[in-house]
Amino acid sequence: MIPVHITGTAKYLPKTRLTNADLEKMIDTSDEWITTRTGIKERRIVANGEATSAMATHAVRKLLGKTKTQPEEIDLIILATVTPDMFFPASACLVQNRIGAKNAWGFDLSGACSGFLFALISGAQFIKSGRHKKVVIIGADTMSSIVDPEDRNTIILFGDGAGAVLLEPGIDENFGILDFEHRIDGSGGDLLMMPAGGSLSPPSHTTVDNREHYVKQNGRAVYKHAVKSMANYTKLLLDRNHISAEKLTLFIPHQANARIMEAVASRIGLTEKQVMVTIDKYGNNTAATLPIAMDEAVDENRIKHGDTMILTAFGAGFTGGGVLIRWNK
Ligand code: UT7
């Protein structure tokens, strides 16, 4: 099997900031509650008319520039999102057209907060098999389009953003994407969902009046599952690959709540220094948190050639997983 290397990372975050002070004016909450319960100080929100494909396009254009890749060279584009511009056409097609990737195929992937990891491993198979040479994996979500501005349980958590990585064949099989473990568990589906707008409950005056086209979450239940699952995926990957916790250079968990990340890190025995945190600035961008955090880690020089890192996620579905990478640069 051909080794799969991540040869570039990029991100895009909209300019508008929604701070905790802004939220204090909109709903019954406080900066103190949000900071202590979630670690979030502000999030980014799209401009009017800006949506998932626009953010994804910005991220991919940066990625192509950084990696000196021509759009025509791209074989495959996978866009992980739960907030596509429209049900169809797929937002991957909108991105493909905007960047001029005229030789690519692609699709959207719905894996909620684990979507980027599911897309990463899906795309990696086409490199491994020798079929493709350049695969673009995107995580992008416009959560501001589906959170209820009157629901203090959810509005405080989510933000908008996009991140992208380029996958290419490598030579050394000790580098790149080394291992993964993914799962879905539909028994937790009703704990985090958007009830209306799909084929079960198509949009109507009633669904809108009942606010069923917004995210509904049982925060406490999801919290417990998130801690347990992300800790388990991470432990499994470390054990299976004979890596001790202290030897892991960087741990990038899905950015849903700072307390969840602390709890997971402490279960595995990781220090604060090993954990990548961006939630304070961007909130929870669903499929975008991991590629955004990875790009930030690269920019901040927190990951160097030969270092190991684990990305892990948990989200609606339930979906969850982890990926072990040895960085090559
Ligand atoms: O990315 C997908 C996966 N999602 C997650 O991983 C999210 C997991 N869940 C969480 O991060 C947390 O459960 C939340 C941040 C959503 C909530 O934190 P919590 O510590 O679990 O709070 P809670 O829901 O148990 O609520 C505690 C109290 C309640 O008041 P009472 O009933 O104790 O009087 C809430 O009504 O805090 C109240 N509350 C708020 N107060 C001020 C809930 N939201 C707010 C708010 N501001 N925004």
Torsion of CA 229, 234, 236, 240, to 10 degrees: 160
Per residue in 138-183, pLDDT tens?
A: 999 999 999 999 999 999 999 999 999 999 999 999 999 999 999 9
Sign of the torsion formed by the C-alpha atoms of 127, 131, 133 and 137 = negative
**Beta 76-80 vs 105-109: how paired, if at all?**
parallel
Per residue in 259-312, pLDDT tens?
A: 999 999 999 999 999 999 999 999 999 999 999 999 999 999 999 999 999 999
Per residue in 111-125, pLDDT tens?
A: 999 999 999 999 999
Q: 326: CA distance to ligand 1 center in Å?
A: 36
CB-based contacts of 105: which residues, under 8 Å, 6+ apart? 75, 76, 77
**pLDDT given for residue 329 in this prediction:** 80
What is the rounded CA–CA span in Å between residue 176 and residue 265?
A: 23
The closest-lying atom of ligand 1 relative to the alpha carbon of residue 154 is 16
Q: Which of 223, 292, 319 to mutate to test the pocket of ligand 1 (most atoms within 8 A of CB)?
A: 223
List the one residue out of 121, 118, 117, 95 whose CA is nearest residue 106. 95
55, 72, 120, 167, 275 from 7: Cα distances, Å: 21, 17, 13, 6, 22
What is the rounded CA–CA span in Å between residue 321 and residue 226?
A: 11
Mean pLDDT, the chain, whole residue set = 97
Q: 190: CA distance to ligand 1 center in Å?
A: 17
In this structure, how many other beta carbons lie within 10 angstroms of the beta carbon of residue 215?
A: 21
Q: 313: CA distance to ligand 1 center in Å?
A: 19
**DSSP for 40-61, written as a single string:** --EEEEPPTT--HHHHHHHHHH
**DSSP for 104-157, written as a single string:** -EEEEE--GGGHHHHHHHHHHHHHHTTS-S-EEEEEEEEGGGTS-TT-TTTTTT
Q: 19: CA distance to ligand 1 center in Å?
A: 18
User: Which residue puts its alpha carbon closest to atom 12 of ligand 1?
Assistant: 219
Per residue in 71-128, pLDDT tens?
A: 999 999 999 999 999 999 999 999 999 999 999 999 999 999 999 999 999 999 999 9
In this structure, how many other beta carbons lie within 10 angstroms of the beta carbon of residue 300?
A: 9
The closest-lying atom of ligand 1 relative to the alpha carbon of residue 316 is 2
pTM to 2 decimals? 0.97
User: Which residue puts its alpha carbon closest to atom 39 of ligand 1?
Assistant: 153
The closest-lying atom of ligand 1 relative to the alpha carbon of residue 226 is 6
Q: 281: CA distance to ligand 1 center in Å?
A: 19
- Ligand 1 binding pocket (C-beta < 6 A) is 29, 33-34, 37-38, 113, 152-153, 156, 219-220, 222-223, 226, 256-257, 260, 284, 315
Per residue in 184-219, pLDDT tens?
A: 999 999 999 999 999 999 999 999 999 999 999 999
User: Which residue puts its alpha carbon closest to atom 10 of ligand 1?
Assistant: 219
6 pLDDT higher than 90: yes
The phi and psi torsions of 230 (rounded to 5 degrees) equal -65, -35
What is the rounded CA–CA span in Å between residue 145 and residue 149?
A: 10
Q: Which two tokens stand for residue 319?
A: 């979906």
Catalytic residues: 113, 254, 284
